[in-house]
């Protein structure tokens, strides 16, 4: 079973103590987003969890205690650092601070366990194609020695995003081609393996792989372990990732990113934070009399030996 700690919210940045406590106590409870009174229990023990995948925009709060998890589990880390400032990502540290934190993280866990996410790529009058390519090159030059590979994707135009970001400039096919060509060129220049994530379109001509961001191959190579050869469906169209169980909750990330799909509104996350108890097995609130707790399915992906 693959545990995902950051698909629905930035647990690393805003729920650090809760996250560490869940692994310390060895289990977590997760409400079903569609049926809130149905609560799944997952065991957070090395015999039940094949790999713990993190995704955050700020690992600084957890660095000093990260060994409590990495010392017991196979792990992989997605670190999102983009070209955007506080106008689009108000709760995210600036680029320079983020890069320094990534370098420290790499020193702790090894570059083979870190993917730098440069996504979503979107355009406004401020964030032009030229600005993206210039910023990406500056970041690539500094991060190349400290990462396993880079992942990017183009923004998906869903209705909520159109309302939250009226300043968005629609990405044309030509825009995407120019961006992909530039990102691919820079990645090659600095020796960075680069791939897309959930983005329709073939950019292999620019040295860009079409792959999932969370595949058994990536996780296995990073940790020196062998997984069974399993067929699987991605999480959505264009996705090649292995199935995982997310232990977070929607409407809880306080980064306030304008392109966020996981919050109905930025304020909703701050309102929900009032219901967070670091000692509760649930990210928000506690188990009530109307709740039904069921043991979640935890499929083993590793081979019997599990090692190379």
Most confident of 213-227, 229-243, 245-259: 245-259
Average pLDDT value for residue range 116-128: 97
CB 3 within 8 A of CB 245: yes
Q: Which of 23-37, 202-216, 241-255 has the lowest mean pLDDT?
A: 202-216
Contacts of 271 (CB under 8 A, 6+ apart): none
pLDDT category at 240 given cuts 50, 70, 90 is low
pLDDT surpasses 90 at 233: no
Contacts of 181 (CB under 8 A, 6+ apart): 203, 206
pLDDT surpasses 60 at 17: yes
Total length of the chain? 308
Tokens of 52: 């713990």
pLDDT surpasses 70 at 145: yes
CB 79 within 8 A of CB 59: yes
pLDDT of residue 243: 83
Q: Is this structure's pTM higher than 0.85?
A: yes
CB 260 within 8 A of CB 269: no
CB 300 within 8 A of CB 293: no
pLDDT of residue 200: 66
Report the share of the chain in percent with pLDDT over 70.
Answer: 94
Cα–Cα dist 193/68, whole Å: 30
Cα–Cα dist 226/232, whole Å: 17
**3 φ, ψ to 5°?**
-95, 130
pLDDT of residue 305: 56
State the DSSP string of 250-295. Answer: SS--TT--TT-SS-SSHHHHHHHHTT--TTSSSSSS---TT-EEEE
CB 168 within 8 A of CB 123: yes
pLDDT category at 239 given cuts 50, 70, 90 is low
Closest listed residue to residue 156, CA positions, set 137, 176, 177 = 176
Q: Which of 174-178, 208-212, 222-226, 234-238 has the lowest mean pLDDT?
A: 234-238
pLDDT category at 214 given cuts 50, 70, 90 is confident
pLDDT of residue 241: 67
- pLDDT tens, position by position, 21-75: 999 999 999 999 999 999 999 999 999 999 999 999 999 999 999 999 999 999 9
Largest Cα separation within the chain, whole Å, is 59
Closest listed residue to residue 155, CA positions, set 134, 135, 169, 139 = 169
pLDDT surpasses 70 at 231: no
Q: Which of 131-135, 232-236, 289-293 has the lowest mean pLDDT?
A: 232-236
pLDDT category at 308 given cuts 50, 70, 90 is very low
pLDDT surpasses 70 at 236: no
Tokens of 289: 């009399």
Cα–Cα dist 70/90, whole Å: 29
Average pLDDT value for residue range 106-110: 98
Cα–Cα dist 162/164, whole Å: 6
Tokens of 57: 């925009």
pLDDT surpasses 90 at 148: yes
């Amino acid at each position: 079973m693959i545990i995902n700690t950051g698909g629905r919210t930035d647990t690393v940045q805003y729920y650090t103590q809760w996250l560490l406590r869940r692994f310390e106590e060895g289990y977590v409870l997760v409400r079903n987003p569609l049926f809130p009174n149905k609560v799944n229990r997952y065991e957070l023990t090395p015999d039940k969890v094949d790999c713990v995948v993190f995704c955050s925009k700020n690992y600084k709060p957890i660095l000093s205690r990260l060994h409590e998890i990495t010392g017991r589990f196979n792990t992989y880390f997605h670190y999102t650092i983009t070209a955007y400032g506080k106008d689009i990502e108000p709760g995210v540290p600036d680029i320079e601070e983020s890069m320094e934190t990534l370098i420290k993280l790499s020193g702790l866990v090894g570059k083979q366990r870190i993917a730098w996410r440069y996504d979503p790529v979107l355009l406004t009058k401020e964030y032009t194609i030229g600005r993206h390519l210039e910023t990406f090159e500056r970041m690539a030059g500094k991060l190349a020695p400290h990462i396993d590979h880079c992942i990017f994707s183009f923004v998906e135009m869903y209705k909520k995003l159109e309302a939250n970001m009226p300043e968005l400039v629609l990405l044309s096919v030509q825009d995407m081609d120019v961006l992909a060509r530039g990102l691919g060129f820079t990645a090659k220049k600095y020796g960075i393996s680069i791939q897309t994530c959930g983005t329709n379109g073939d950019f292999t001509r620019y040295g860009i792989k079409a792959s999932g961001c969370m595949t058994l191959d990536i996780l296995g190579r990073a940790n020196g372990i062998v997984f069974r050869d399993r067929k699987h469906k991605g999480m959505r169209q264009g996705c090649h990732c292995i199935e995982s169980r997310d232990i977070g909750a929607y409407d809880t990330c306080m980064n306030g990113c304008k392109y966020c799909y996981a919050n109905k509104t930025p304020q909703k996350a701050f309102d929900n934070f009032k219901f967070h108890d670091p000692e509760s097995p649930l990210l928000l609130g506690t188990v009530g009399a109307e709740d039904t707790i069921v043991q979640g399915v935890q499929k083993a992906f590793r081979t019997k030996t599990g090692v190379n």
